[in-house]
Chain A
Amino acid sequence: MIFLTVGNELPFPRLVQAVDSWCEKNGNCSVFGQIGPVGPNGYRPRHFEWEEFISPQQYHEMCDEADLIIAHAGMGSIITALELSTPVLILARLAVFQEHRNDHQVATARRFSARKGVLVAEDEHAVAGMIDSWNASRDVVETETVEPYAEERLIRVIRDFILNS
């Protein structure tokens, strides 16, 4: 199953549409999408099941079940995928399309692109091809497993501060 998630704050039709056309081409695909607030004139996918918002529980279930997570370059999605060792395909939101207030997701995507199992799409046109190549090699895609907690140094600094308060 592929789980598409774009966060709750803003819609991301560029990514949603890319996944929808991949589904259209492939037919009979197992995709569920959490696509954010669509609005009256927003893009509504026709080739996969979707909701605007889902509960954190449902979100975790979907991530657990998913073989591939497709997401905006938000930290929640990326960290969750890394924690579950699930491959994640990300596309950064861009301010020029009013997808976010600035382009910070580009830097996020760049930073995490070095991690195994994090696949960064350059633009929406690259998405379909990347899903295909993931699909073709899904048994051999390597993912990184991350510890459940932050770096030790960071935890220590914060703990020392708390204990000395």
Chain B
Amino acid sequence: MKKIQQIRVLAIASSGGHWVELRRLQPAWEGCLVTYVTTSAARENELQEEAQQAGREAPPFYAVVEASRWEKIKLIRQVLQVLLILIRVRPHVIISTGAACGFFALRLGKLLGARTIWLDSIANAEELSLSGEKVAGCADLWLTQWEHLVKKDNRNGKLRYEGTVV
């Protein structure tokens, strides 16, 4: 088993609500080597301020292009950016709360041998998000924040509920 401080974690989510949810999970990778990725470069200040307050170095941070599911060219750029980050960081674990960029990171990360966690956003109360649904095959830990969705799911109990971000 690796020492905590040797475990490389990639925490990735699009900016906005997904990012706010991801950041609330932070104690889960306390002590690990975390790298953050989101779709807005301005988020870096937030990490820097927080690190400053805690008297430590800010974690590595990368921004990728923001892309909705209709923006094919931007999506392709996003995939390539995510791939380059994965090659550079070589994470042992990838965790995402959504959306597209997190889906790509889990898909590609799995191919590169990472263990993967998907926590579907608490905003998806009636069904999983589109990315959350598509990521099923490559999420080692696949979580929803709605207990009733676990009961609805029929994939051999793979989808789990273990609490919420708020």
Contacts and interface: CB of A to CB of B under 8 A. Distances in A.
A155 B7 contact: no
A79 B125 contact: no
A146 interface: yes
B42 A56 contact: yes
Nearest to B121: A75
Contacts of B92: 165
Contacts, number: 123
A94 to B, nearest CB: 14
Contacts of B68: 9
Interface string B144-166: 00000000000000000011111
Given A75-B20, A76-B20, A163-B7, A55 B164 contact: no
Given A79-B21, A165-B115, A107 B126 contact: yes
Interface string A114-153: 0000000000000000000000000000000010111111
B163 A154 contact: yes
Looking at chain B's contact residues, is the secondary structure mostly helix, strand, loop, or mixed? loop
A107 B144 CA distance: 15
Contacts of A161: 93, 115, 117, 140-141
A154 B30 CA distance: 14
B124 A150 contact: no
A4 B139 CA distance: 36
A155 B27 CA distance: 7
Contact of B26 (A60, A110, A149): A149
B52 interface: no
A25 interface: no
Interface in B106-142: 115, 117, 119, 121-126, 140-141
Contact of B43 (A56, A156, A159, A162): A56
A104 B123 contact: yes
B45 interface: yes
Contacts of B18: 75
Interface in B21-58: 21, 24-30, 32, 40, 42-43, 45-46
Contact of A162 (B19, B32, B42): B32
Given A79-B24, A164-B1, A57 B45 contact: yes
A74 B140 CA distance: 27
B4 interface: yes
Contacts of A89: none
28 contacts: A7-B17, A9-B68, A56-B15, A56-B40, A57-B46, A74-B17, A75-B18, A75-B20, A75-B121, A77-B17, A79-B21, A104-B123, A104-B126, A108-B125, A111-B125, A149-B25, A150-B24, A150-B28, A150-B163, A154-B25, A154-B163, A155-B25, A155-B27, A161-B117, A162-B9, A162-B95, A163-B1, A165-B92
Interface of A: 7-9, 55-57, 60, 74-80, 82, 104-105, 107-108, 110-111, 146, 148-159, 161-165
